Amino acid sequence: MNQFSPDRLVSQDDWSDLTRVKSAPEIDIDRLHNHRLTRLRSCIQETGAAMCLLVNPVSLRYAVDYRAYALFQSHIPTAYLFVPVDGPVVIHGALDSAPMADEFRKARPISYFDGATELESNAKELARDVVNYLKEIGTDNRRVAVEYVNPSITQALEAAGLEVIDGVLASENARVIKSEDEINCIRWAIAVAEHGIAKLKTAVHAGVTEAQLWGLLNYANLANNGDWHDGRMLASGPRINPWMQEATLRRVESGDLVGFDTDMVGPQGYCADISRTLHCGPAMPTRRQKELYRLALDEIEHNLRLIRPGITLDAFQQQAFVPPEAFHQNAYTCVIHGVGMCDEYPRVNPIFRGPNPYRGTLEAGMIICVESYMGAVGERDGVKLEQQVLVTSDGYEMLSSDPLEPSLLD
**Cβ–Cβ < 8 Å for 63, 175:** no
User: Given a cut of 70, is residue 6 above it in pLDDT?
Assistant: no
User: Up-side HSE of residue 1: CA atoms within 13 Å toward CB?
Assistant: 9
d(CA 240, CA 383): 8
What are the structural domains, with CATH classification, of the chain?
Answer: 29-174 (3.40.350.10), 180-408 (3.90.230.10)
Give per-residue pLDDT as tens, 73-116.
999 999 999 999 999 999 999 999 999 999 999 999 999 999 88
3-class SS at 13? Answer: coil
Residue 12: what pLDDT?
Answer: 82
Provide the CA 326 distance to its chain's centre, in angstroms.
30
User: Given a cut of 70, is residue 4 above it in pLDDT?
Assistant: no
Give per-residue pLDDT as tens, 149-180.
999 999 999 999 999 999 999 999 999 999 99
Band (pLDDT 50/70/90 cuts) for residue 299 is very high
d(CA 370, CA 304): 7
3-class SS at 222? Answer: helix
Residue 156: what pLDDT?
Answer: 98
Band (pLDDT 50/70/90 cuts) for residue 11 is confident
d(CA 207, CA 196): 20
H helices present in 354-394, as ranges: none
376 φ, ψ (degrees, to nearest 5): -80, 145
Average pLDDT, the chain: 96
d(CA 179, CA 201): 33
User: Up-side HSE of residue 113: CA atoms within 13 Å toward CB?
Assistant: 7
Total number of residues shown for the chain: 410
Residue 10: what pLDDT?
Answer: 74
User: Given a cut of 70, is residue 5 above it in pLDDT?
Assistant: no
User: Given a cut of 70, is residue 195 above it in pLDDT?
Assistant: yes
Give per-residue pLDDT as tens, 378-398.
999 999 999 999 999 999 999
Which residue, among 163, 160, 127, 164, has the nearest Cα to 148 in the 3D structure? Answer: 164
Band (pLDDT 50/70/90 cuts) for residue 33 is very high
d(CA 40, CA 86): 11
3-class SS at 145? Answer: strand
* H or E, element range at 392: strand 383-392
Give per-residue pLDDT as tens, 53-69.
999 999 999 999 999 99
Mean pLDDT lowest among 12-16, 26-30, 228-232, 290-294: 12-16
Give per-residue pLDDT as tens, 340-376.
999 999 999 999 999 998 899 999 999 999 999 999 9
75 φ, ψ (degrees, to nearest 5): -125, -15
**Cβ–Cβ < 8 Å for 190, 388:** yes
Which residue, among 81, 77, 110, 78, has the nearest Cα to 98 in the 3D structure? Answer: 81
d(CA 331, CA 371): 10
d(CA 372, CA 230): 19
**Cβ–Cβ < 8 Å for 373, 296:** yes
User: Given a cut of 70, is residue 7 above it in pLDDT?
Assistant: no
pLDDT above 70 coverage of the chain, percent: 98
d(CA 393, CA 244): 34
Could you check whether the bond before residue 151 is cis, i.e. omega within 30 degrees of 0? no
User: Given a cut of 90, is residue 9 above it in pLDDT?
Assistant: no
Distances (CA, A) of 207 to 18, 234, 239, 253: 28, 15, 15, 6
Residue 239: what pLDDT?
Answer: 98
Distances (CA, A) of 287 to 3, 65, 73, 264, 410: 40, 49, 47, 32, 10
Task: Give the DSSP letter of residue 352.
Answer: G
Residue 2: what pLDDT?
Answer: 54
Distances (CA, A) of 298 to 91, 166, 219, 285, 354: 48, 39, 32, 19, 22
Query: How far apart, in Å, do the first and last CA atoms of the chain sit?
Result: 44
Segments of 173-324 assigned E as strands: 228-229, 234-236, 257-261, 264-265, 271-272, 275-279
Give per-residue pLDDT as tens, 313-327.
999 999 999 999 999
pLDDT above 90 coverage of the chain, percent: 95
